[in-house]
Each structure stands twice: as structure tokens, then as C-alpha cells.
Amino acid sequence: MDERGLLVLAGTPIGDTADAAPALLRALEGADVVAAEDTRRFRDLCHRLGITPAATVVSFFDGNEGARVGGLVERLLAGSRVVVVSDAGMPAVSDPGYRLVAAAADAGVRVTAVPGPSAVLTALAVSGLPTDRFCFEGFLPRKTGERRSRLAALAAERRTMVFFEAPHRLPAFLADAVTGFGGERRAVVCRELTKTHEQVLRGTLAELAQWAQGEVRGEITVVVEGAATSGGNLADALAAVRTAIAGGVRRSEAVAEAAAAHGVSRRELYDAALKDRADAPEGAGS
């Protein structure tokens, strides 16, 4: 008889506690161990749900996930039922859980999930942008240079993109997205999804960047449309670069915005812009 336990990834409400699935309550009440991203928030959730799990509750967050995995796998191999919960949404999606799932699977432990709300899919569904193909990019690097590099690498991505961002970093994120994708790219900022003060703002990246200059609070998910699917015109993009440079915009920024707006390769356009400068009559251009 296989005495291995069961690892359960349990989705928790991202806003209204009433969204909790009955299966979540059953999972928590039947757990031997609950690995919670924040034990205080977990106990508050249980209070709001009206349940008192008998399980052992351990903290399980980014800072200690690696150290916790070994002990939790031991409990699983001894036959325990371990339930993982994050502060909101599905564990392992920009939240702790991935390492434990991988280790449990390697150990031959069964892994299952209690379906629950996800900010990724909720934001995508209400965005009004194409949902047939999308990618989840999560939180981008905090450092400006690294963030801009990631956005530049995504400029030609044709799938709808979903990002998480902290409210105090949203203005910088949107400003960098304007540079990397072009100000006319459509996007949606979702704030406090499913909560009392839910707000869904649709517009161009330039418009949203302007809006974000005010104070922004709450949980933020940003959805950005993919690059144009039709083949771009390099000549038109190069003309846009010339115009932007003549207006005082730096070459790298002009190329990034024109490449995103015209659906052409940024590297190819940059090379063309350099050649264009070299071929220009003496005294022309920058």
C-alpha cells in the first residue's frame, strides 16, 4: 500500500471572502499541515470563513521556501496531507509553491489543486484585449535597467501580456512600457480586482502612464496587448525614427517606440537608423 500523502495547492479569494469555494473549506479542515504564505492572514481568513482547522500551520514564503521544502516532503512521505495557501489567489503563480511541487513530484507524491480565483485570468477576462493567446510575465525586475531590458525583449511579443506590479512602482513600469512598446499600445490597469474598490482602467499606455502619476493604491495587474500581427514596414518605422530624433528624442528611445508602433524588429530598425545616420549628408541629423 502506498503510504505517501497528498499535496494540495489551494486557491484562496483574491478579494471577497464569499468567493471561497466549498472545496477550499474541506481542504483546510482535512489538512494535517497548512503551509501558509502569511500565518496571520491565514488565521484571519479562517476566522472570516468560520472554520477552525486542526492542522499544524507553518509559514511558507519566498524567504523560507527553500528551507521548508525538505521537511514538508518528509511529512508527505510519512502520509500527511499538506495544503499550501498564499495570501490571495493560486499558490505557485508568483507566490510560493513551485519548489515544493517539484520536490513532491520527484518524490512520487501526488499533487492536486483546489481551483480558485486568479488575478491573472480575472484581469485577462475583463481587459477586453485578445484572450486566445496570452503570456504571464509576473513581476518584472525592480532595477530600472533590468526592467527596461525585459520590456524591450517583449516589444515584438504578439500575445497579450499580463504583469503584476506594486502600486508605488506602477508609474515607472508604465513609463518604461511606453518607451519599450510605444505610447499607442492598448493596455488595461486592474486595481483591487473583485474587492469593494475594484477599478479597471482602459486606454493607451501613454494615457495610463499619465493617470498613474497620481497616488495609486491596492493590488495591481496590468494587461498589455501584443504587437501587431501584420508585417511591419521598416521604411515607415525609419521615417518615424527620423522625425522623433529631429524633435529631440534620443535615438534608442525613438527606435524602441517606432519598432513597437510599426511591428518591426527593434534590432533591425536600430541598425537601419545607424546606417541612415551614416548615409545622411554632413550636418544633417543628430
Mean pLDDT check: name the lowest of 35-39, 130-134, 216-220, 233-237: 233-237
45 and 91, same domain (yes or no) = yes
Which residue has 527606435 as its cell numbers?
Answer: 255
What tens digit of pLDDT does each residue of 120-170 get?
999 999 999 999 999 999 999 999 999 999 999 999 899 999 999 999 999
When the pLDDT of each residue in the chain is averaged and rounded to a whole number, the result is 91
Asked if residue 216 belongs to a domain, the reply is yes
93 and 139, same domain (yes or no) = no
Asked if residue 122 belongs to a domain, the reply is no
55 and 12, same domain (yes or no) = yes
101 and 162, same domain (yes or no) = no
Note the pTM of the prediction, 2 decimals.
0.75
Asked if residue 286 belongs to a domain, the reply is no
Which residue has 519566498 as its cell numbers?
Answer: 62
Domain that holds residue 273: 234-279
246 and 269, same domain (yes or no) = yes
What tens digit of pLDDT does each residue of 162-176 get?
999 999 999 999 999
106 and 193, same domain (yes or no) = no
Which residue has 522625425 as its cell numbers?
Answer: 243
What distance in Å separates the CA atoms of residue 1 and residue 270, rounded to the nearest whole number? 64
pLDDT at position 1, please?
Answer: 34
pLDDT at position 210, please?
Answer: 96
Asked if residue 269 belongs to a domain, the reply is yes
138 and 163, same domain (yes or no) = yes
Asked if residue 1 belongs to a domain, the reply is no
41 and 136, same domain (yes or no) = no
Classify residue 223 as exposed, middle or buried by CB count within 10 Å of its CB (0-12, 13-18, 19+).
Answer: buried
What tens digit of pLDDT does each residue of 168-213 get?
999 999 999 999 999 999 999 999 999 989 999 999 999 999 999 9
Confidence of residue 286 (pLDDT cuts 50, 70, 90): very low
30 and 113, same domain (yes or no) = yes
Q: What is the CATH number of the domain that holds 155?
A: 3.30.950.10
Classify residue 230 as exposed, middle or buried by CB count within 10 Å of its CB (0-12, 13-18, 19+).
Answer: exposed
What tens digit of pLDDT does each residue of 50-99 get?
999 999 999 999 999 999 999 999 999 999 999 999 999 999 988 899 99
Helix (H), strand (E), coil (C) string for the chain:
CCCCCEEEEECECCCCHHHCCHHHHHHHHCCCEEEECCHHHHHHHHHHHCCCCCCEEEECCCCCHHHHHHHHHHHHHCCCEEEEECCCECCCCCCCCHHHHHHHHHCCCEEEEECCCCHHHHHHHHHCCCCCCEEEEEECCCCHHHHHHHHHHCCCCCCEEEEEECHHHHHHHHHHHHHHHCCCCEEEEEECCCCCCCEEEEEEHHHHHHHCCCCCCCCEEEEECCCCCCCCCHHHHHHHHHHHHHCCCCHHHHHHHHHHHHCCCHHHHHHHHHHHHHHCCCCCCC
Q: What percent of the chain shows pLDDT beyond 70?
A: 95
Q: Which of 140, 194, 190 is nearest to 169 (CA)?
A: 140
Q: How many domains does the chain have?
A: 3
6-10 and 110-114 as β-strands: parallel, antiparallel, unpaired? parallel
Asked if residue 196 belongs to a domain, the reply is yes
What distance in Å separates the CA atoms of residue 148 and residue 230, rounded to the nearest whole number? 25
145 and 219, same domain (yes or no) = yes
Q: Which of 286, 255, 259 is nearest to 273 (CA)?
A: 255
Where a domain ends, among 117, 143, 167? 117
Where a domain ends, among 178, 196, 224? 224
Asked if residue 100 belongs to a domain, the reply is yes
Q: What is the CATH number of the domain that holds 103?
A: 3.40.1010.10
Where a domain ends, among 82, 117, 152? 117
Asked if residue 284 belongs to a domain, the reply is no
